[in-house]
């Protein structure tokens, strides 16, 4: 591992799979990110409604990938802007992701990483967050 990001990034991590959530959170934390875990997207929407701020969002995709991705517009509406998102799925669940309509996968923010995710992949994503303007994502005013 070795390299820690010193950007002060606050990352929301949404994953219904407790083990995957813990593993991804550990990796992000080891890279220097402040991670706030959530079980469901609705929980993160509530956090934005409560005016919590995040620099990026990691979402675990599973068999319900289509339903999860269809809720991203609600998430972005709660945030008040487009979100820098990265999706994580296990190779065994790629078929569920492939079944998601192209329109849902064609968004600017759609980036998919297969788990177990290499720390270098997460680090590369964290470093791209600076390109989003370094303004912390905020709930709508």
Among 71-80, 82-91, 99-108, the range with the most confident prediction by mean pLDDT is: 71-80
Containing 128, the helix (H) or strand (E) segment is helix 119-128
Averaged confidence pLDDT in the chain: 81
pTM above 0.85, yes or no: no
Q: How many domains does the chain have?
A: 1
Question: Which range of residues forms the domain containing residue 57?
Answer: 10-132
pLDDT tens digits, 94-117: 776 666 656 555 555 667 888 888
Q: Alpha-carbon dihedral of residues 51, 57, 60, 64, nearest 10 degrees?
A: 60
Q: Residue 2 domain-assigned?
A: no
Q: Residue 48 domain-assigned?
A: yes
Q: Residue 115 domain-assigned?
A: yes
Q: Residue 56 domain-assigned?
A: yes
CATH number of the domain enclosing 42 = 3.40.50.2300
């Amino acid at each position: 591992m070795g390299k820690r990001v010193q950007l002060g990034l606050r990352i929301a991590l949404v994953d219904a799979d407790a083990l995957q959530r813990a593993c991804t959170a550990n990796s992000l934390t080891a890279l220097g990110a402040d991670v706030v875990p959530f079980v469901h997207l609705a929980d993160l929407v509530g956090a934005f409604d409560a005016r919590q701020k995040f620099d990026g969002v990691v979402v675990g995709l599973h068999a319900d990938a289509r339903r999860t991705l269809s809720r991203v517009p609600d998430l972005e509406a709660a945030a008040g802007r487009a979100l820098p998102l990265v999706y994580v799925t296990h190779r065994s669940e790629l078929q569920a992701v492939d079944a998601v309509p192209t329109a849902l996968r064609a968004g600017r923010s759609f980036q998919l990483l297969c788990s177990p995710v290499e720390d270098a992949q997460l680090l590369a994503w964290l470093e791209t967050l600076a390109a989003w303007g370094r303004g912390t994502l905020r709930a709508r005013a």
